[in-house]
Structure 1
Amino acid sequence: MSTTDQNLTAQHAEVKAEIARTDAKTALLLAFIGAVMAGAWTVARDLPMNALAYAAGGSGLVLLVAAAGLVLRSVRPNLNGGKGFVLWATLTPQQIAATAEDRDLAADIAGLSRLAIAKFTCLRRAVDLTCAGGALLVLSALIALGGTA
């Protein structure tokens, strides 16, 4: 195996590992968003809420729902690409072997890198929305607690 082939194999593995790490972070963020929403609902039932607190809390929940949507979008399978697993599912064993012989690892790295960037972008936006939604929920609680004093 040449040095170029070794480098391409290492780069390919690195990009695949980044995608796997992003998917793991995505799963944790989705669980966190669900827990925050459930906690907000539980706390809001016990607080004396006024209109301003409802508005801030409702806005926070809307942002959390949007963040959950982005998280789900980042892990949504793309079955229309015609590459990888989807392509292999349509081929005979002989065609799979022929495809493996002609495999362009550099093109795979480029395609996977674009996929990783799309996932990173969705995840980053979801984190931003989660932070903003959480801040609004805290503001709502402060408003509700301040109204009772």
Structure 2
Amino acid sequence: MSATDTQLKAAHAEVKAEITRTDTKTGLLLAFIGAVLAGTWSAGKDLPLTVFALVPGLAGMALLVGAAGLLLASVRPNLGGDHGFPLWATLTAEQIRATVATDLAEDIAGLSRIAVKKFTGLRRAVDLTRIGGGLLILAVLIALGGAA
């Protein structure tokens, strides 16, 4: 095995590991957002909230729902057939061997694009979660402070 083959295989494994890591973070953030939304709804539905507390609270919840949407989009399966499992499902055993033997660099490039797209969605969702959480904290402070 040549040094180039070894480097290609290492790069391929690294990109696949990064996709797995990003998907794991996405799952954890989705669970966190779900817990925050459930807790906020449970705590807020019985409180007499003023408009001053409702506005940032509802905006915060809307941002958290938007973040959850971004996360779901980033883990949505791509069944277009141009890369990964859908492609392999359309090939014969011989075609798979030939494709893997000749197109590892192309596979790395395709997986890297997928990883960047997932990472970008995760990053945007984290930003929205931070802003939404801040707005929820503001709503709680207003509600507890009795601002009218």
Same fold (TM over 0.5): yes
Q: Which residue of 2 aligns with 1:142?
A: 141
Q: Secondary structure at the match of 1:116?
A: helix
Q: Which residue of 1 aligns with 2:37?
A: 37
Q: Which residue of 1 aligns with 2:117?
A: 118
1:105 Cα offset (Å): 1.2
After the TM superposition, which residues 40-119 of structure 1 pair with which residues of structure 2 at under 5 Å, given as runs? 40-101=40-101, 103-119=102-118
CA–CA distance in structure 2, aligned partners of residues 32 and 59 of structure 1: 18
Where does structure 1 lack aligned partners over 5 or more consecutive residues? none
1:75 Cα offset (Å): 0.4
Q: Which residue of 2 aligns with 1:133?
A: 132
Name the amino acid aligned to 2:108.
I
CA–CA distance in structure 2, aligned partners of residues 33 and 105 of structure 1: 37
- Alignment coverage as a number of residue pairs: 148
Where does structure 2 lack aligned partners over 5 or more consecutive residues? none
CA–CA distance in structure 1, aligned partners of residues 123 and 100 of structure 2: 35
Q: Secondary structure at the match of 2:91?
A: coil
Identity of paired residues, percent? 66
1:20-79 CA-partner distances (Å, limit 9, x unpaired) = 000000000000000000011111124320011111110000000000000001101111
Distance 1:124 1:79, change over 3 A: same
Further displaced range: 75-84 or 126-135: 75-84
1:148 Cα offset (Å): 7.4
Q: TM-score, normalised by structure 1?
A: 0.93
Q: Secondary structure at the match of 1:11?
A: helix
Are the equivalent residues in 2 in contact too, given 1:48–1:148 (CA < 8 A)? no
Are the equivalent residues in 1 in contact too, given 2:83–2:110 (CA < 8 A)? no
CA–CA distance in structure 1, aligned partners of residues 36 and 45 of structure 2: 14
Q: Secondary structure at the match of 1:80?
A: coil
Are the equivalent residues in 1 in contact too, given 2:66–2:128 (CA < 8 A)? yes
1:90-120 CA-partner distances (Å, limit 9, x unpaired) = 223333333334x311111111111111111
The RMSD of aligned alpha carbons is: 1.6
CA–CA distance in structure 1, aligned partners of residues 83 and 143 of structure 2: 53
